[in-house]
Amino acid sequence: MSSMRIPEFWLACVIKPSVFLASLLPLAWLAWGWSTDGLGANPIEATTRFLGDWALRFLLIALAVTPVRMLTAWNCLARFRRMLGLFAFAYAVLHLLSYIGLDQFFAWATIWAEIVKRTYITIGMLAVLCLIPLALTSTKGMVRRLGGKRWQKLHRLAYVAGVAGVIHFYMMVKADVREPLIYGAILTALFSIRLWNGRTRQVARPSVARKAKRA
């Protein structure tokens, strides 16, 4: 498939800022919900859940960048991966803060007890712990310092975070498990594409470290 070429100006000055603003829309929706009393009978629960949903969605969207690139040769998509990954991290942190601050009122003893006692919370914690090193090493300087190979190995943690996020969601819902199963199926499909591509045709792509050096 031929590679899609978008002029640099459009990418940097129009599409990237638009994706950035679009990624803020869930927060705008949440702020609107709070200001209009539109979040239902339990706005705190709705907020925590909404932020958790978007953390997982952004993680899957960020993870989809490379498989979609592999299938379509639209290499310009790589320009969005870091931003989307950081949005996944930001929504996960807000989800956690909503749980700690709004849901538990900073009752650290209870929070700790829940992390230890409730498996789905422990697994949510694992997902956050996986995302932290990814966010910390997302800068060009860190990519250069780590070297492309080590950086790529470390970034496999994104899939661990994805699996943990899906299990966390699956264990949390009591009756209707359709939504977490759909996220699980998407994650499996993305991972399969990467494996299949790795085994068959190895898309030729400049190493991450080389790209960071050039930038």
Binding region for ligand HEM (CB under 6 A): 45, 48-49, 52-53, 55-56, 59, 92, 95-96, 99, 121, 124-125, 127-128, 165, 168-169, 172
Given a contact cutoff of 8 angstroms between Cβ atoms, the answer to whether 6 and 19 are in contact is no
* Interacting residues of 194 by C-beta distance below 8 A, sequence separation 6+: 66, 67, 70
Looking at the Cβ atoms of 70 and 128, the one nearer to ligand HEM is: 128
> Residue written as tokens 């859940």?
49
Q: Euclidean distance between the first and final Cα of the chain, in Å?
A: 26
Looking at the Cβ atoms of 45 and 142, the one nearer to ligand HEM is: 45
What is the closest distance, in whole angstroms, from the C-beta atom of residue 195 to ligand HEM in the complex? 22
What is the closest distance, in whole angstroms, from the C-beta atom of residue 58 to ligand HEM in the complex? 8
Q: How far apart are CA 78 and CA 9, in angstroms?
A: 16
Looking at the Cβ atoms of 69 and 95, the one nearer to ligand HEM is: 95
Looking at the Cβ atoms of 80 and 183, the one nearer to ligand HEM is: 183
Given a contact cutoff of 8 angstroms between Cβ atoms, the answer to whether 51 and 94 are in contact is yes
What is the closest distance, in whole angstroms, from the C-beta atom of residue 135 to ligand HEM in the complex? 12
